[in-house]
Structure 1
Amino acid sequence: MAFIHQLGLNKLFSLFSPVVRPLLNVRANQRLESAVNVWDLRDAAKKRTHLMCFGYLDSGADDELAMARSRSAYSEYECHYNVLAGNSPETLDLRTTLFGGQVNLPFFMCPTAGHRMFHTLGEKATASVAAEKGILFALSSLSTTSVEDVGKILPANQPKVFQLYLWKDKGLNRELLARARENGYDAVALTADFSWFGNRERDRRNGFSIPPSYSVKQIVEAIKRPAWTWDLISNDMYTYANINQDVPAESLAAFINKQLSPEFTWDDAEWLAGEWGGHLSLKGVVRADDAVRALKSGFSSVWISNHGGRQLETAVPPVDALPEIRAAVGPDVQVILDGGVMRGTDIAKGLALGADGVGIGKAYLYGLAAGGKEGVAKAVDTLEDELQRAMGLLGVRTVDELKARGPELIRRRNTVKWPPA
């Protein structure tokens, strides 16, 4: 299929898209409409998306235990709800403040790489949903839509975050920070747990690569997923839009691997804090001592994450690390949580246990892969509905009330009863 883009045949195919795309997406649209939760969106994404790309989205490191435990850890926390609270949808207020700006929901879209791998609209679809819903959007530096193009989609008064890896090339770091600043990004999140590349064995089995290879296996898998494949062959080939455009697409993976380094230290992090000079969050923290050190090194917030269980196998579930980190940094430091969130009750538990905001990753990408912008909107709407129901049944009306009463409402199974002795 490489010759299609080399010869520019994708331009020709695109002329037929208004007719072909709707026909190929009939079943995908039906699955999307019938989905009732994020797990259904996952199933729909699997049926529409090339095996290689779905595997990249769906997988974790090694035996995928860290990923599974990040999800299952939420089930270890129980809801000790109040009855007769008089709650109704009209009494609930899910608004809160994140990264200095007001948002309509306390959860948001985490920075995740390569949205156009899953649907041709990519980050334009996900950012558009964030803009319409009035929620925080975080853009990955390995996005397939540029900092500038996403910045144009998001309203100026709506907070947005740019995620950065600490590249070896400090000139590249400065360039990305400058572009983020010029395009109105309110904060930067430095991902600190990606200096080594996790062992994603499912990717190796599936022959995952960017850009896609054109082996017999990959072509057969492409034929099995005609809606996804039509998007691929009728649009321009996707690349990492924020990385040096002089690097050929075929060399991007090697370029990125060469730019990452396991030698990063706290000195490098402090250098970045000085370069940015604004709101800076350290992403990938799972220990209280690292959280405290981050604040002393110039970071203004802490982002608890184990990279979706995609880096170090059997890493601690982020929600389990949350209470200790919150206690260590105190009540006034913004703490963000992500990892394993698949239900609105997960979001409620994260807020109750000490998070100011909760990030979703796979959940909205399943929606994107299942049905583009409509799929992303369904993922967000589903989680919002579940969160509203959870708050209503818990007996709280605002995010602040949920956070303030968290220790009495959400308790770990088989622990001492509230209040403690």
Structure 2
Amino acid sequence: MGPITSVFDLETMARKRLPAVIFDYVHGGAGMELTLQRNEDDLCALALRQHDMRDVSHRTMSVKMVGEPAEIPLAIGPTGLAGLTWANGEVEAARAAEHFGVPFCLSTMSICSIEDVAEATSRPFWFQLYLMKDRKVNENLIHRAHAAGCSALILTLDLHVQGKRWADAKNGLSVPPRLTLHNTMDILSHPRWLVGMARSRRRTFGNLQGEVQHAKHLSALTQWIESQFDPSFDLETVKWVRKTWDRKLILKGIMHVDDARLAVDAGADAIIVSNHGGRQLDGAPSSISVLPEIADAVRDRIEVFFDGGIRTGSDIIKALGYGAHACLSGRAWLYGLAAQGREGVLCALKLLQEELSDCMALTGLSDLHNIAPDVVTAQPALRPPGRPGASGPAPQLQGAYR
């Protein structure tokens, strides 16, 4: 393969390097993947207004996210099982984020543990919490994150039940992957991944293995986790977390104005407008389509972050122009990790930074804190030639390059 010029090149490399059972988990979404596709298509459909005759020789891209500096307005979002794409994957990604200068968030469902990441890094990181039915497990995870120096807790709201991910069910995804004849042949056909994973410190859920005393083997641990997602999760649960955690609290999975207002009332420091990357409710709107109304309702009282389809630097501009303070990315950096480990994560971040810088220059922006309302807009409708004022329906433009 030639030079890496975009996140899509990293995606191609990840697809080749990973067994299907792992790549499909990273790449796929719930059900028919309608929500997943909407996230990308709706970002593609937005237009950027080109503004010239402006001095853009000095462009400021750095921001603060809940008080922490970020070289670009992006944090590495929490993704489960990242350590199955590359040996010690979460540790490698956290080191890349620290080197580049953006926040890193560790998932509850990571392979490396909270303590593994804390030991390997010097910059405080964030921890993402899935609440379990077992309140004692939740308390232990919160206390462990606090003891590890985590500066923010991201509480995920949209996992009352797990979305139906058809590819994962067909592939027999588990931790470690359930071996079928098809999976075994596929894994053996990816020797680079197999040899690399032999160097991994852990091969199961590092944060939960010690929390479940009765789970004496991996299949029992997996079964326990699947039974623990709590459909009774409500506002009172969020308030309990707020009382238990005394540092920055970010609520992830906000897709409705009412929930955004409740987040403010519950004392959250930030919200993430997110549909879980299209991995939960299939048929939900895209994150970008609901961002403006949510941002308009609460952004003067709380930081609003965006998650859902970031693949290019221009996507970041679009999210900020639609009201977000900053963004999170899941798949973009995960493709880099799966392709090249720590260097792949750095590559993804640098590509996004370069694209962001170029996009700022071409849209006449020197500071991301001041994006004029007309920079991000709907694609103007095409007009028939020779008929001033006449207009037809706007064409449905698809992001073919994606």
> Under a length normalisation based on structure 1, what TM-score does the superposition of the two structures give?
0.86
Question: In structure 2, what is the equivalent of residue 167 of structure 1?
Answer: 132
Q: Tell me which amino acid in the other structure corresponds to 1:127.
A: A
**Is 1:128–2:95 an aligned residue pair?**
yes
Structure 2: which 5+ runs fail to align? 382-402
Structure 1 residue 160, shift from structure 2 partner: 2.6
Question: In structure 2, what is the equivalent of residue 189 of structure 1?
Answer: 154
Match of 1:320 among 289, 299, 303: 289
Structure 1: which 5+ runs fail to align? 1-30, 416-421
CA distance in 2, matches of 1:104, 1:151: 21
Check conservation: 1:291, 1:325, Cα contact below 8 A: yes
CA distance 1:219–1:43, change in 2 (3 Å): same
Question: In structure 2, what is the equivalent of residue 16 of structure 1?
Answer: none
Q: Tell me which amino acid in the other structure corresponds to 1:249.
A: L
SS at match of 1:408: coil
Match of 2:63 among 79, 83, 96: 96
Question: In structure 1, what is the equivalent of residue 49 of structure 2?
Answer: 80
Match of 1:225 among 190, 197, 220: 190
Structure 1 residue 277, shift from structure 2 partner: 2.7
After superposition, the CA RMSD in angstroms is 1.6
Deviations 1:28-47 (A, max 9, x none): xxx4x622111111111010
Identify which range, 72-81 or 346-355, moves more after superposition: 72-81
Check conservation: 2:88, 2:202, Cα contact below 8 A: no
Deviations 1:381-403 (A, max 9, x none): 1111111111111111122123x
Deviations 1:135-156 (A, max 9, x none): 1111111111111221234434
Question: In structure 1, what is the equivalent of residue 384 of structure 2?
Answer: none
**Is 1:205–2:133 an aligned residue pair?**
no
Number of matched pairs: 377
Check conservation: 1:77, 1:410, Cα contact below 8 A: yes
Question: In structure 2, what is the equivalent of residue 115 of structure 1?
Answer: 82
Question: In structure 2, what is the equivalent of residue 410 of structure 1?
Answer: 376
CA distance in 1, matches of 2:274, 2:191: 35
Check conservation: 1:239, 1:249, Cα contact below 8 A: yes
Check conservation: 1:283, 1:303, Cα contact below 8 A: yes
Structure 1 residue 332, shift from structure 2 partner: 4.0
Check conservation: 1:130, 1:154, Cα contact below 8 A: no
SS at match of 1:281: strand
CA distance in 2, matches of 1:109, 1:235: 21
Question: In structure 2, what is the equivalent of residue 278 of structure 1?
Answer: 247
Check conservation: 2:93, 2:342, Cα contact below 8 A: yes
Question: In structure 2, what is the equivalent of residue 71 of structure 1?
Answer: 40
Question: In structure 2, what is the equivalent of residue 44 of structure 1?
Answer: 13
SS at match of 1:277: coil
> Under a length normalisation based on structure 2, what TM-score does the superposition of the two structures give?
0.90
Q: Tell me which amino acid in the other structure corresponds to 2:246.
A: G
Check conservation: 1:107, 1:358, Cα contact below 8 A: yes
Match of 1:380 among 334, 340, 349: 349
Deviations 1:147-205 (A, max 9, x none): 1221234434xx53211011111111111111111121111111010111111001122
Q: Tell me which amino acid in the other structure corresponds to 1:275.
A: T
Question: In structure 1, what is the equivalent of residue 387 of structure 2?
Answer: none
Question: In structure 1, what is the equivalent of residue 333 of structure 2?
Answer: 364
SS at match of 2:341: helix
Deviations 1:278-319 (A, max 9, x none): 321111011111100111122222111000001001111111
Identify which range, 166-175 or 308-317, moves more after superposition: 166-175
Match of 2:180 among 193, 215, 220: 215
CA distance 1:237–1:175, change in 2 (3 Å): closer
